[in-house]
Amino acid sequence: MRLKKWLSLFMLIVMTAAFLAGCGKGDEKNDSSDTAETGTPSITEDVISDTGETGTSSDTEDVISVTAETGNPSDTEAADETETPVELKSPVGSMRDITTMELVYDMGIGINLGNTFDATGDWINPKTVRNFETAWGSPVITEKIIRAYAEAGFRTMRIPVTWSNMMSEDYVIDPAWLDRIQQVVDWVIGNGMYAIINLHHDSFIGELFPVDEAEGFRKYEAIWTQVSERFKDYNDYLMFESMNEPGFDAIWNQYTGTQEQKERAFDLLNRINQRFVDIVRASGGNNAERHLLISAYYTNIDYANNGLTKMPDDPMGRCAISVHYYTPWTWVALTKDESWGKAQWEWGSPEDYELLNSQLDLMKKNYVDKGIPVIVGEYCMCSKKEKKYSDLWEIEVTRGIYERGMCPIYWDVQGSATNFFNRITLTWGNPEVLAAMQEIQATRDFTKVNGK
């Protein structure tokens, strides 16, 4: 009985950590979407590490076994054995003669496969594909789960990946990890959606580059060389994203740093993004023409528009920019007052709309109107607030992004604050927001893109 209580407590801690990670994303999170001057601190880094200190390796294994008994298959290969076979579209083929602006237009409204292949933690033991995949609360992903997202109308799925999870000391990615990501990408494209894969919680971006830039580039290039090689024959329904919420606090403290330090930090990010484009373009196959997504500093809208963010030189001219939207953080995440801000309990005032519109207008003016496509790669409510206000924020953020010709991609995790989608029962816990998203998406004519 005592063991049962311990396992229950451990599961609660793990699920709490996983939920918070969905908004904070641990290693590289630093108020990525809030206005830079608000002073919002990172809130999740200690959550995961604290979780690791609460249990032993054997406890972790037991928890994962319990999770598996709720309906997950014993391994990824067996995940779809009992499902009805469906005919999937081939992910391999030629690239269409369309611009990145046309492609982003066609991506419609998307959703993230969050807290899945991006999960991290030293407490995840043994470090296998399955244990990483389920560590933060997700069941083992099946084609049926992916199909449910597609059938709900989502046209794009962002698949956050932490490649460092299963990688040798000389930066060789475990083939089993690459195989599993490829399998899910195949399901996404096979069900008619666009797929985006990135580097997510690969913490070396913020930790290694500032202290050993040469080694940072060596590791970064090793990852994208292997990923590019694996997917070089995939068609343009696959997009690569350079990083997730990158920042270099060891170079520039965004609250107290100097202008010179700030310029150094942004220059480093610009050079990494340029290397990303160069690696992919030189890798052969369809990667010579692949549409690419460039991450802004901490994916912060203000930082994307401060004049220091530079789009890479791309011989194909096929790059979009990525930002996230969790604004204001006092509304999206806080459930109690903090020293740096008071929790906001309602949303929808004229001032609230003014902030939303001003932020999105910046991206339209400085990017969309200049021919640079924009993808808002993450947004969602990260705390439980009164439903009428919470739903209003998620709907209006979706509408605001979409009406400006950008692609909104909702951050979805198992057990989210709004109970959006249950990957085990395949049911939608917030049908009102889903229906609104479907209505918003229906305002766009998807027959305009060539080759449809």
Give the whole-angstrom CA distance, residue 109 versus residue 107. Answer: 6
| Residues forming beta bridges with residue 173, ordered by sequence position | 167
What is the C-alpha separation between 74 and 94, in angstroms, rounded?
A: 36
Closest-CA residue to 394 (of 363, 426, 355, 433): 433
β-pairing verdict for 421-422 and 427-428: antiparallel
Q: Which two tokens stand for residue 195?
A: 């797929």
Catalytically annotated residues: 245, 378
Q: Using the 8-state DSSP alphabet, how is residue 323 labeled?
A: E
Taking the C-alpha atoms of residue 386 and residue 389, their distance in angstroms, rounded to an integer, is 6
321: left (phi over 0), alpha (psi -120 to 50) or beta: beta
- Find the distance separating the first CA and the last CA of the chain, reported in whole Å: 59
Both tokens of 5, joined, read 């209580």
Task: Give the H/E segment covering residue 362.
Answer: helix 350-366
